[in-house]
Structures are given as structure tokens and as C-alpha cells.
Amino acid sequence: TQLLEQSPQFLSIQEGENLTVYCNSSSVFSSLQWYRQEPGEGPVLLVTVVTGGEVKKLKRLTFQFGDARKDSSLHITAAQPGDTGLYLCAGLTVSRQGNMLTFGGGTRLMVKP
């Protein structure tokens, strides 16, 4: 069974602070996706990282895939209240039956104005 551990589970910070969310596994994934989910809605894809060591930036969000493709991090610079939500990482496993996404437990972020 592929497991993805996310940390921290909860994070409450002030507007303007920086933060990092971690996603770790003992398994290798073909790629890793980050989603954000807001109350009453489904997750929305933010980014996919495919290559070990890859870094992608989305405005104030920086995503990194570990060299061994077992872990990833999401760094938010100067967090804003609009960043509040549940952040989920998901690892993609490829098999003959098809691909399957394994989700981490999520990090619930609250940014206070």
C-alpha cells in the first residue's frame, strides 16, 4: 500500500508569513500533484511535478519534487487570507490496470488577516 504523509496537519498563520507543507512517502511515484480544496467544493489541481528535483512556481507558491521522487514540498511566500484551504498532495502510481492517485491526509491552512 502506497502511503503519503503530509505535515503539518493544521497550520494557522498571520497574513504575510511564509510556510512550507511537506509530503513524504517511502514509495516512488511517477508524478506528484498538489490540490487545494475549499469548503463545499472538490479539490482543484494546482500543479503536477514529474521529474525528480523539479521545481515549479505558481505566483507565490513554489513546488518541489524530491530527487528520488518520494517526497515533495509546497512553499507559500507572504501568505494571504485567500490562500486559506485544505492542501492535498497526491502521488500517481502507474500499473497495468491504470493509474491511481494516492492522496495524503491534507494540510488545513488558515491565514488570518
Q: Which residues bind other proteins (CB under 8 A)?
A: 1, 30-31, 33, 40-45, 48, 50, 88, 90, 92, 94-95, 97-106
Smaller CB separation from other proteins, 34 or 111: 34
Q: In angstroms, what is the minimal distance from the CB of 75 to other proteins?
A: 22
Residue number, 44 or 110, with CB nearest to other proteins: 44
Residue 30 vs 77, nearer CB to other proteins: 30
List of long-range contacts for 8-12, beta carbons under 8 Å, 24+ apart: 8/107, 9/105, 9/106, 9/107, 9/108, 10/107, 10/108, 10/110, 11/107, 11/108, 11/109, 11/110, 12/109, 12/110, 12/112
Minimal distance, residue 61 CB to other proteins, in Å: 17
Distance, in Å, from the CA atom of 103 to the CA atom of 109, rounded to the nearest integer, reads 17
Could you tell me the smallest distance in angstroms from the CB atom of residue 113 to other proteins? Answer: 26
